[in-house]
A and B are shown apart, each in its own frame.
Chain A
Amino acid sequence: DAKTTQPNSMESNEEEPVHLPCNHSTISGTDYIHWYRQLPSQGPEYVIHGLTSNVNNRMASLAIAEDRKSSTLILHRATLRDAAVYYCIRVYILTGGGNKLTFGTGTQLKVEL
C-alpha cells in the first residue's frame, strides 16, 4: 500500500514544539516524502519535503529515519495558525513525468493557548 500512516489527531500548547510522526514502511528508494497541511476550507499547502537527509526551512524541520521507514515533522514553536490537518505523503514519479501524491487521512493538529 502506497499510503502513509499517521495518528488521527494530536494536541499542542502554543509556543511549544510539536513532533508529528509518520510511518511509511513500504517506501521505495526513489520516493520522496512531502508534508502538506490543510486549513479549513482551503487547499493543501506545501510545508517541506525530503529524501534521506534531515531538512529545515522557515516553516518546519523534517527528520527522516535512517531506514526511511518513518519521518517526523517538527514545528519548533506552534502557534494558533498552525492548527490544521497535516499530511505526510509519498511522492513518486509518474510515467512521462510529473508527480503523484498519495494522501492518507492526515493528522489533525489542535493548538491551545
Chain B
Amino acid sequence: NAGVTQTPKFQVLKTGQSMTLQCAQDMNHEYMSWYRQDPGMGLRLIHYSVGAGITDQGEVPNGYNVSRSTTEDFPLRLLSAAPSQTSVYFCASSKRDRLNTGELFFGEGSRLTVL
C-alpha cells in the first residue's frame, strides 16, 4: 500500500493565483483531513471529512476549499493565494472510530511558497 500520497511536494505561487493540493489514500479510510504547519508551531486543522460527500471546517479554514467526491481523494483548493498561506501542508487519514482511537496516517507534506 502507498498510504497517503500528496502532490505536489513543492510549489511556488504568485499572490492571487489559485491551485489545488492533491491527497489520495489507498487504505479505504473514511476520515481525511488537511493540516498546515508553520515554523515554530504545531499543526493546525484546516478542513476535514468523515466520508464521501461530507466536509467541515477546522481551526483555520479561511482561504481554502475542499470537496470529497470519493473515499480515496480529498483535494485542498487555494482560491486566491496569499503570502500568509506559505506553509507546509499535510494530509492525513484514519478509519472512522467511534471510540476515538483512530491512528492518523500522514502524507509527506506539500511545501507551498506564495510570493
B61: Cβ under 8 A from any A Cβ: no
CB distance from A4 to the nearest CB of B (A): 9
A93: Cβ under 8 A from any B Cβ: yes
CB distance from B62 to the nearest CB of A (A): 18
CB distance from A14 to the nearest CB of B (A): 27
**B contact residues, range:** 20 to 34
A32 to B99, CA, bound (A): 9
Count: A-B pairs, CB below 8 Å:
76
Name the segment of B12-20, B50-58, B78-86 touching the other chain. Answer: B50-58
A67 to B103, CA, bound (A): 24
Contacts of B100 in A (CB 8 A): 30-32, 91-93, 99
A94: Cβ under 8 A from any B Cβ: yes
B75: Cβ under 8 A from any A Cβ: no
A104: Cβ under 8 A from any B Cβ: yes
Name the segment of A16-24, A41-49, A70-78 touching the other chain. Answer: A41-49
CB distance from B56 to the nearest CB of A (A): 7
CB distance from A111 to the nearest CB of B (A): 21
Contacts of B108 in A (CB 8 A): 41-43
CB-based nearest A residue for B92: A43
Interface residue ranges of A58-113 to B (CB < 8 Å): 87, 91-106
Q: Are A45 and B50 in contact (CB under 8 A)?
A: no
Contacts of B4 in A (CB 8 A): 43
Contacts of B71 in A (CB 8 A): none
Known: A30-B100, A44-B106, A103-B43. A97 touches B90 (CB 8 A): no
A61 to B96, CA, bound (A): 24
CB-based nearest B residue for A48: B103
Known: A42-B109, A43-B106, A94-B50. A99 touches B31 (CB 8 A): yes
Knowing that A43-B106, A91-B100, A100-B58 touch, tell me 12 more A-B residue pairs with CB under 8 angstroms.
A3-B42, A32-B101, A42-B108, A42-B109, A43-B4, A46-B105, A96-B50, A97-B30, A99-B31, A103-B35, A103-B42, A103-B44
Q: A residues near B, CB below 8 A? A: 3, 30-32, 36, 41-46, 49, 87, 91-106
